Amino acid sequence: MHIERVEIRRVYMPYVSPFETSGWREEGIHHIIIRLDVDGATGWGETPIGRNPFYNEENTDTCWILQRDYLIPSLLQTDLSSPYDVPGAFAKIRGNRMAKSGLEFAVWDLFGHIEGRSMAAMLGGTRSKVAVGVSVGIQKDIDTLLDVVGEYLDDGYRRIKLKIKPGWDIEPTRAVREKWPD
Protein backbone atom coordinates (compact mmCIF):
# COMPACT_ATOMS: atom_id res chain seq x y z
CA MET A 1 0.00 0.00 0.00
CA HIS A 2 1.25 3.49 -0.83
CA ILE A 3 0.12 6.55 1.10
CA GLU A 4 -1.78 8.82 -1.31
CA ARG A 5 -1.91 12.03 0.66
CA VAL A 6 -0.23 13.50 3.73
CA GLU A 7 -1.27 16.67 5.51
CA ILE A 8 0.55 18.19 8.49
CA ARG A 9 -0.73 21.08 10.56
CA ARG A 10 0.66 22.97 13.51
CA VAL A 11 -1.80 23.38 16.34
CA TYR A 12 -1.73 25.40 19.53
CA MET A 13 -3.99 24.61 22.44
CA PRO A 14 -3.72 26.73 25.61
CA TYR A 15 -3.54 24.99 28.95
CA VAL A 16 -6.18 25.70 31.57
CA SER A 17 -3.29 26.99 33.68
CA PRO A 18 0.44 27.38 32.90
CA PHE A 19 2.68 24.34 33.34
CA GLU A 20 6.05 24.94 34.97
CA THR A 21 9.01 22.61 35.37
CA SER A 22 12.51 23.22 36.70
CA GLY A 23 13.63 24.32 33.24
CA TRP A 24 10.74 26.09 31.54
CA ARG A 25 7.17 27.34 31.70
CA GLU A 26 4.56 26.61 29.01
CA GLU A 27 1.22 28.29 28.44
CA GLY A 28 -0.06 25.58 26.08
CA ILE A 29 0.88 22.81 23.68
CA HIS A 30 2.42 23.35 20.26
CA HIS A 31 1.99 20.04 18.43
CA ILE A 32 1.91 18.82 14.85
CA ILE A 33 -1.18 16.91 13.71
CA ILE A 34 -0.76 14.48 10.81
CA ARG A 35 -3.37 13.11 8.44
CA LEU A 36 -2.68 10.22 6.05
CA ASP A 37 -5.11 9.13 3.32
CA VAL A 38 -5.22 5.98 1.22
CA ASP A 39 -8.14 4.32 -0.60
CA GLY A 40 -10.76 6.31 1.32
CA ALA A 41 -9.26 5.51 4.73
CA THR A 42 -7.70 8.13 6.99
CA GLY A 43 -5.12 7.78 9.75
CA TRP A 44 -4.30 10.46 12.30
CA GLY A 45 -1.13 11.03 14.27
CA GLU A 46 0.23 13.65 16.63
CA THR A 47 3.79 14.77 17.15
CA PRO A 48 3.86 15.47 20.90
CA ILE A 49 6.65 18.01 20.99
CA GLY A 50 7.28 21.30 22.72
CA ARG A 51 7.85 24.69 21.19
CA ASN A 52 11.38 24.82 22.63
CA PRO A 53 14.10 22.15 22.86
CA PHE A 54 14.06 22.01 26.67
CA TYR A 55 12.62 18.49 27.09
CA ASN A 56 14.81 16.90 24.43
CA GLU A 57 16.73 18.02 21.35
CA GLU A 58 13.61 18.41 19.19
CA ASN A 59 10.99 21.15 18.94
CA THR A 60 8.03 21.95 16.69
CA ASP A 61 10.22 23.74 14.15
CA THR A 62 12.75 20.91 13.81
CA CYS A 63 10.00 18.28 13.67
CA TRP A 64 8.11 20.25 11.02
CA ILE A 65 11.19 20.48 8.78
CA LEU A 66 12.15 16.83 9.30
CA GLN A 67 8.63 15.63 8.57
CA ARG A 68 8.04 17.90 5.57
CA ASP A 69 11.44 17.56 3.90
CA TYR A 70 12.63 14.06 4.81
CA LEU A 71 10.21 11.74 6.59
CA ILE A 72 7.08 12.33 4.52
CA PRO A 73 8.90 11.97 1.17
CA SER A 74 10.45 8.74 2.45
CA LEU A 75 7.07 7.47 3.65
CA LEU A 76 5.44 8.30 0.31
CA GLN A 77 8.06 6.18 -1.49
CA THR A 78 7.53 3.17 0.78
CA ASP A 79 5.24 0.26 -0.03
CA LEU A 80 3.66 -0.46 3.36
CA SER A 81 2.41 -3.94 4.12
CA SER A 82 2.15 -3.20 7.86
CA PRO A 83 2.97 -0.43 10.34
CA TYR A 84 6.14 -2.36 11.15
CA ASP A 85 7.53 -1.14 7.80
CA VAL A 86 7.72 2.47 8.99
CA PRO A 87 11.01 2.29 10.96
CA GLY A 88 12.71 0.90 7.85
CA ALA A 89 11.41 3.82 5.80
CA PHE A 90 13.02 6.20 8.30
CA ALA A 91 16.25 4.25 8.88
CA LYS A 92 18.52 6.71 7.05
CA ILE A 93 17.46 9.54 9.36
CA ARG A 94 19.19 9.35 12.72
CA GLY A 95 17.50 10.35 15.97
CA ASN A 96 14.48 12.65 15.75
CA ARG A 97 12.26 10.18 17.59
CA MET A 98 9.42 12.64 18.15
CA ALA A 99 9.25 13.68 14.49
CA LYS A 100 9.16 10.02 13.49
CA SER A 101 6.61 9.04 16.13
CA GLY A 102 3.84 11.31 14.85
CA LEU A 103 3.99 9.77 11.39
CA GLU A 104 4.33 6.24 12.73
CA PHE A 105 1.24 6.68 14.92
CA ALA A 106 -0.67 7.96 11.89
CA VAL A 107 0.29 4.80 9.98
CA TRP A 108 -0.82 2.61 12.90
CA ASP A 109 -4.12 4.48 13.03
CA LEU A 110 -4.54 4.14 9.25
CA PHE A 111 -4.00 0.37 9.37
CA GLY A 112 -6.39 0.15 12.29
CA HIS A 113 -9.12 1.86 10.27
CA ILE A 114 -8.47 -0.35 7.25
CA GLU A 115 -8.48 -3.55 9.35
CA GLY A 116 -11.27 -2.45 11.70
CA ARG A 117 -9.05 -2.91 14.76
CA SER A 118 -8.00 -0.61 17.56
CA MET A 119 -4.36 0.30 17.99
CA ALA A 120 -4.45 -1.45 21.36
CA ALA A 121 -5.60 -4.69 19.69
CA MET A 122 -2.95 -4.38 16.97
CA LEU A 123 -0.25 -3.96 19.62
CA GLY A 124 -1.50 -6.92 21.66
CA GLY A 125 -3.26 -4.96 24.39
CA THR A 126 -5.69 -6.85 26.61
CA ARG A 127 -7.27 -4.12 28.74
CA SER A 128 -10.40 -2.27 27.71
CA LYS A 129 -9.44 0.72 29.86
CA VAL A 130 -6.13 2.25 30.87
CA ALA A 131 -5.60 4.27 34.02
CA VAL A 132 -4.30 7.74 33.24
CA GLY A 133 -2.27 10.09 35.34
CA VAL A 134 -1.49 13.75 35.35
CA SER A 135 1.72 15.73 35.69
CA VAL A 136 1.46 18.66 38.10
CA GLY A 137 3.75 21.58 37.37
CA ILE A 138 5.60 23.60 39.98
CA GLN A 139 3.16 25.71 42.00
CA LYS A 140 3.66 29.01 43.85
CA ASP A 141 3.33 27.36 47.29
CA ILE A 142 2.44 24.07 48.99
CA ASP A 143 -1.16 25.07 49.72
CA THR A 144 -1.74 25.74 46.02
CA LEU A 145 -0.05 22.45 45.15
CA LEU A 146 -2.35 20.55 47.52
CA ASP A 147 -5.39 22.28 46.03
CA VAL A 148 -4.31 21.40 42.49
CA VAL A 149 -3.57 17.76 43.37
CA GLY A 150 -6.90 17.51 45.22
CA GLU A 151 -8.78 18.81 42.16
CA TYR A 152 -7.10 16.24 39.92
CA LEU A 153 -7.92 13.44 42.36
CA ASP A 154 -11.53 14.65 42.50
CA ASP A 155 -11.58 14.54 38.68
CA GLY A 156 -10.70 10.84 38.83
CA TYR A 157 -6.96 10.81 38.27
CA ARG A 158 -5.24 8.18 40.39
CA ARG A 159 -1.61 8.70 39.43
CA ILE A 160 -0.03 12.06 40.16
CA LYS A 161 3.46 13.04 38.98
CA LEU A 162 5.00 16.11 40.61
CA LYS A 163 7.49 18.36 38.85
CA ILE A 164 10.33 19.35 41.17
CA LYS A 165 13.43 21.53 41.16
CA PRO A 166 16.16 22.36 43.68
CA GLY A 167 14.43 23.88 46.69
CA TRP A 168 11.02 22.60 45.55
CA ASP A 169 11.37 18.87 46.04
CA ILE A 170 11.28 17.28 49.50
CA GLU A 171 8.68 19.49 51.21
CA PRO A 172 6.10 19.48 48.38
CA THR A 173 6.48 15.73 47.93
CA ARG A 174 6.16 15.15 51.67
CA ALA A 175 3.04 17.35 51.89
CA VAL A 176 1.29 15.46 49.07
CA ARG A 177 2.23 12.06 50.50
CA GLU A 178 1.03 13.04 53.97
CA LYS A 179 -2.33 14.26 52.67
CA TRP A 180 -2.83 11.30 50.29
CA PRO A 181 -0.76 8.36 51.56
CA ASP A 182 -2.28 5.95 49.02
Domains annotated on the chain, with CATH: 5-122 (3.30.390.10), 133-179 (no CATH)
Please determine, for residue 144, whether its predicted confidence score (pLDDT) is greater than 90: yes
pLDDT exceeding 70 applies to what percent of the chain? Answer: 100
pLDDT of residue 18: 82
- Distance in angstroms (rounded) separating the CA atoms of residues 73 and 117: 27
pLDDT of residue 176: 98
Sorting pLDDT into bands at 50, 70 and 90, what band is 119? confident
* Positive/negative CA dihedral, 142, 145, 151, 157: negative
pTM (predicted TM-score): 0.82
What is the tens place of the pLDDT at every residue in 6-48? 999 999 999 888 888 888 788 888 999 999 999 999 999 999 8
**Average pLDDT value over all residues in the chain:** 94
Higher-pLDDT residue of 145, 23? 145
Q: What's the gap between Cα 121 and its chain centre?
A: 20
pLDDT of residue 122: 92
pLDDT of residue 53: 81
pLDDT of residue 172: 97
pLDDT of residue 129: 83
Range in 51-55, 73-77, 105-109, 139-143 the model is least confident about: 51-55
- Distance in angstroms (rounded) separating the CA atoms of residues 4 and 93: 22
Please determine, for residue 72, whether its predicted confidence score (pLDDT) is greater than 90: yes
Sorting pLDDT into bands at 50, 70 and 90, what band is 69? very high
